[in-house]
Amino acid sequence: MTRILSGVIALLVLLAGALLWVGQMGPTDALIFENPRVRLTPGTGPMAGYVTIRNRSDREVALVGARSPQFGQVMLHRTVIRDGQARMEHQDRVPIAPGSVVEFRPGDLHLMLMRRQQRLNVGDPVEIVFEFDGIKPGEWTLGFTVVPVTAQ
Amino acid sequence: MTRRAWLRLATPVALLCAALLAACGDRSWNGKDISHLMPALEFELTDESGAVVDQSLFAGRPVAIYFGFTECPDVCPMTLAKLTAAARRLPPGPRERLQLAFVSVDPARDTPARLADYTEAFSDAMLGLTGSQAQLQALTRRYRITYGYEEPDAQGNYEVSHSSAIFVFNESLEAELMLLDNLSIDQMHSDLERLLEDG
C-alpha cells in the first residue's frame, strides 16, 4: 500500500515538475540561450563571454548590445585571423535569422567584458543583459558562469 | 558479379589501400613543417623576474612559443589553453622536458610581474617573456610575423594584433613546427608527442 502511495506521489511530483517546466518555456521564449560561460583570465584585463543563441521566432532579430553590473563595459567582438595574424573586430549588430543559431565561441564571436568591478572566481555567477533589435521585450537578462582559463 | 570481375576490382582497391596506408605513415605533421624555412631560435628578452635572458635559457629543452598579450580575452587564452592541454597529455618524460613560453608583444602593459601571474594560471612549465620594441621586432621579424597596436579608446584601452601561431623548436633550438590556432588539442598533442619522441 505504502509502495503504491509513494509511487503515486512520485508521479504527481514529476507531473507538477513537467508542467512547471513547460509553463516556464511559454510562448515568450523566442530566444534560447545555451551554455553561457565567462572565461576567467588572470589579472584585471578583459574577459570573454560565450553563449549559443537560438532564434525560434519567425523574424530576424539582432543582438545590438550588452551590459553587465559586474563589468564597466561589454562589447560585441569577433576574433578575425587573416594570414596568420589575429585581431579583433567590433560588431555593432549580430543578426540572427529566423530559425537559426549564432554561436559566440572561442576564436570567433565573443562578448568582451571590460573593467571588472569585483574579483571573480571559477563558479561565480555573472549577469549579462542583452539588448536585441526586432523582438519585444528587447532586453534579456542571462546568468553566466565563470569557467577556468584552461576551459575548452 | 563473376569471379573475374571481382579480381579486376580487387587490384585497384588493394593499390588504393596501400597508397592510403603509405600516406598515413608519412612524416606529415598537423602543423606546418618549418625546419628548413625558419632560422634557429635567437633572442634577447626580459623574463618574469625582470632578468635579461637570451635563447640559452632554453638550451637542451624543446620549446613552444606563442606571441600575444595578457589583455587579449579570446584568442590568446584559447590557444594557450589548447597548448597546455596538449602538453599535459604527454607522457611524464617528454612533458617535463617541454618548455612553454608566452612572449608578450605589449610591453607597455605587460610587466614581468603581470606576466608571471598570467602564465602561472596556465602551466608551471610556461614562462612569460617580453622586451623592448627593438628586441620584440628582432624576434618577430626573424620568424616573419608582425604585431601592431590599434587606436586607444576613451579609457586608453587598445587592441593588439599578433601572430596566431605557436612556434616549436627542438632541444638544439632549431625551428621545427608552426602549430596554427585552428588545430585541435589532439592534433597539437600528436605533433608534440612525435617531435619529442624523435628528440
CATH number, domain of B143, equals 3.40.30.10
Find out whether A114 and A75 touch, Cβ atoms under 8 Å: yes
List CB contacts of B26: < 8 A, sequence separation 6 or more.
Answer: none
Question: Cβ contact (<8 Å) for A87 and B157?
Answer: no
Measured in Å, how far apart are chain B's first and last C-alpha atoms?
53
Reported ipTM: 0.82
Residues B21, B101, single domain; the answer is: no
Task: Categorize the per-residue pLDDT at B31 as very low, low, confident or very high, splitting at 50, 70 and 90.
Answer: very high
Q: What's residue B197's pLDDT?
A: 86
Three-state DSSP class for residue B71: coil
Residues B1-6 have a mean pLDDT of: 58
Q: List CB contacts (< 8 A) between B84 and chain A.
A: 150
The neighbouring-strand residues paired with A139 are A131
Residues B2, B49, single domain; the answer is: no
CA distance B12 to chain A (A): 40
Q: In what order do the strands lie in the sheet with B99-104?
A: B32-33, B175-179, B166-169, B63-68, B99-104, B126-130, B44-47, B52-54
CA distance B140 to chain A (A): 12
Q: How many domains is chain B built from?
A: 2
C-alpha cell at B50: 625582470
- Higher pLDDT among residues A16 and B81, named by residue: B81
Residues B137, B73, single domain; the answer is: yes
For residue B10, the enclosing domain spans 1-29
Residues B36, B23, single domain; the answer is: no
Find out whether A67 and A121 touch, Cβ atoms under 8 Å: no
| Residues 94-133 (A) with a CB less than 8 A from some CB of B | 106-107, 110, 112-115
Counting beta carbons within 10 angstroms of the beta carbon of residue A82, is it exposed (0 to 12), middle (13 to 18) or buried (19 or more)?
Answer: exposed
Cα B131 to Cα B46, B51, B97, distances in angstroms: 5, 11, 25
Considering only A47-51, A64-68, B11-15, B73-77, which range has the smallest mean pLDDT? B11-15
Q: Tell me how far apart the alpha carbons of residues A41 and A73 are, in angstroms, rounded to a whole number.
A: 16
Q: B18 pLDDT exceeds 90? A: no
Residues B88, B170, single domain; the answer is: yes
Average pLDDT, chain A: 89
Q: A7 pLDDT exceeds 90? A: no
Residues B143, B47, single domain; the answer is: yes
Q: A126 pLDDT exceeds 50? A: yes
Q: What percent of chain A has pLDDT over 90?
A: 76
A41 in contact with chain B, both atoms CB, cutoff 8 A: yes
Residues B68, B116, single domain; the answer is: yes
Which residue does chain B place closest to A78, by CA atoms?
Answer: B74
Q: List CB contacts (< 8 A) between B74 and chain A.
A: 48, 77, 79, 88, 106-107, 110, 112
How does pLDDT run across B129-185, given as a tens digit for each residue? 999 999 999 999 999 999 999 999 888 889 999 999 999 999 999 999 999 989 999
Q: What's residue A43's pLDDT?
A: 87
Residues A1-19 have a mean pLDDT of: 59
- The model's pTM is 0.84
Residues B10-35 have a mean pLDDT of: 67
Q: B2 pLDDT exceeds 70? A: no
Residues B129, B160, single domain; the answer is: yes
Question: Cβ contact (<8 Å) for B75 and A81?
Answer: yes
Q: Tell me how far apart the alpha carbons of residues B33 and B175 are, in angstroms, rounded to a whole number.
A: 9
Q: What's residue B155's pLDDT?
A: 85
Identity of the residue in B70, B122, B150 whose CB atom sits nearest the CB atom of A43: B70
A57 in contact with chain B, both atoms CB, cutoff 8 A: no
Q: Tell me how far apart the alpha carbons of residues B62 and B36 are, in angstroms, rounded to a whole number.
A: 17
Residues B25, B120, single domain; the answer is: no
Residues B8, B82, single domain; the answer is: no
Residues B127, B56, single domain; the answer is: yes
Residues B174, B116, single domain; the answer is: yes
CA distance A148 to chain B (A): 9
Q: B1 pLDDT exceeds 80? A: no
DSSP secondary structure code for residue B56 in this structure: G
Q: What's residue B109's pLDDT?
A: 96
Q: What's residue A125's pLDDT?
A: 98
- Cβ–Cβ contacts within 10 Å for residue A87, how many? 18
Q: A44 pLDDT exceeds 70? A: yes
